[in-house]
A and B are shown apart, each in its own frame.
Chain A
């Protein structure tokens, strides 16, 4: 009791203090707006971040837009303005459309599988399962390790002669697959590695969504005689849908940017069958030094992802859902 009284005694004093601290002494009116009040000090606090973000993010965003209308090899002379030529060239380039299709196939292959596994894992982890910490760590480990090391290991798993994948297939009575020479098999391998590498992220996001559904909804439904499937379909699915949409868009965005595992696992082969958008961009920028053309490719990628992001933001607003991000 005495403690509570002291707190109450202190409080009015704190209010007065706050009132005084908030009042700034009047400044001369001629100073630029940015330098009024706490401006100079704030600028000082912000300056390191502002410099880095301006030089390596804000300026590059604008500059690569400009570059996408130029032809330039970085080393010789100034960028030459060529209008929409780069974009026209992209439309005419059969390889660009192939690469775009590969990216689409990879995305269509990974995203549903990724989400299904992530939801199943999150669902189990949300029940009374023994060894939750171990299970969560096991599913999440592929996320934290480097894509390069993971792809090196998987290359061996998919080795046509000595690998575990073919050994498993043969043990199950199926025929071995030539993972490194068949375009379809190489894409399947890439999708398996892609799903394995990132479903842990979605598991965490789904688990957070599931934890947010009030337990008494389920209890009430159980009393009303709803079975497990009905409870899942009528409570979990609708209440989880904002999370599902968030996860869906994030997964598509992630899949569209796949690069590391492609580079190490398949190098885009066989016969370019796993060459994806970022790989194509990388080749044009840093192998052929077509900086203008590569910037145009980057902007196409940006446009696709931006549309997805806007769809996501809109869907959230419509549902009145406030995401953590």
Chain B
């Protein structure tokens, strides 16, 4: 009896310790965010006081006002949203079409082409970066929205992700539609796309996040301040105002907010995307 009670008590203690450890780790992980958000609402005097304080003594929006006055963050924001939305919509259309061809149509060289697509996913972006820059340079598209948008309008990853999902949809559903005289485009649009919503959502979220958070490509192809994305704007701003922590924190909050909102609304899709692809960054 006593041994059993001790065992149970030991387990209970173990569970409590485990909870304390994992919650401490979780709080430590999100501490930089909390710090970022809270700092962005502090006044200058408090920001530069030492030892640092957590909770703002007085909430102020001064840092946000200063940030938006020092640099056109509103404009950067619209640029980022425009580019990320256009690329995401483009990929949903192009990758759906390509994935449907790979999943459902018979044509010469299909499997070889598909494996070629798969193989390109192993090539690091930095290998294709320089020639892609040159091609855009030859096309006269450097320092335009086109440079940010066009290379992202289709992707091997998106095609692969959607193809795998399309293959899991029973063919019978389409065959009935073919009997009714539907063409391939209508079948794709009216039968496959509605059924593939979870996969399309995962692709959309992944693409949007990737483009919105992209830094190196915008750094390489954009020069004019008018075309800066939020990330590029924040990095340049960081160079120029390297110790104005209040403004920098406000800028960082602005640069992370949309993705954080999408993440909390659609956590499942982020995690599915990761589990599916093992994709980094």
Chain A interface, >50% SS class: helix
* Complex interface bits, B252-281 against A, C-beta within 8 A gives 1, otherwise 0: 100110011001100100110011111111
Contact of A259 among B18, B159, B216 (CB under 8 A): B216
Contact partners of B155 in chain A: CB under 8 A: 49, 52-53
Contact partners of A299 in chain B: CB under 8 A: 127
Q: Which of B159-183 contact A (CB under 8 A)?
A: 159, 171-172, 175-176, 178-179
Q: Cβ of A135 and Cβ of B215 under 8 Å apart?
A: no
Judge if B45 is at the interface, Cβ distance under 8 Å.
no
The answer to whether residues A45 and B108 also contact, given A139-B26, A146-B255 and a CB cut-off of 8 A, is no
Interface stretch, picked from B57-65, B132-140, B196-204, is B132-140
Contact of B105 among A38, A153, A164 (CB under 8 A): A38
Q: How far is the CA of A286 from the CA of B129 in the complex (A)?
A: 11
Q: Cβ of B184 and Cβ of A41 under 8 Å apart?
A: yes
Indicate the member of A57, A142, A150, A208 with the most B CB atoms within 10 Å. A57
Binding site for A on B (CB under 8 A): 18-19, 21-23, 25-27, 29-33, 35-36, 39, 47-48, 50-52, 93-95, 97-98, 100-102, 105-110, 113, 116-117, 120, 122-135, 137, 150-151, 153-156, 159, 171-172, 175-176, 178-179, 184, 209, 212-213, 215-216, 219-220, 230-231, 234-235, 238, 243, 245, 248-249, 251-252, 255-256, 259-260, 263-264, 267, 270-271, 274-281
What are 19 A-B contacts defined by CB distance under 8 Å? Answer: A36-B107, A36-B108, A39-B107, A46-B98, A48-B98, A52-B155, A124-B22, A129-B18, A140-B263, A141-B263, A144-B259, A145-B33, A145-B256, A148-B234, A162-B47, A201-B280, A257-B125, A281-B126, A325-B277
Query: Other than the known A48-B153, A153-B249, A156-B35, what 19 A-B pairs have Cβ atoms closer than 8 Å?
Result: A21-B175, A34-B107, A42-B106, A46-B101, A135-B26, A137-B263, A138-B27, A144-B259, A148-B215, A149-B231, A156-B249, A157-B32, A162-B50, A204-B275, A257-B124, A257-B281, A260-B215, A263-B216, A264-B238
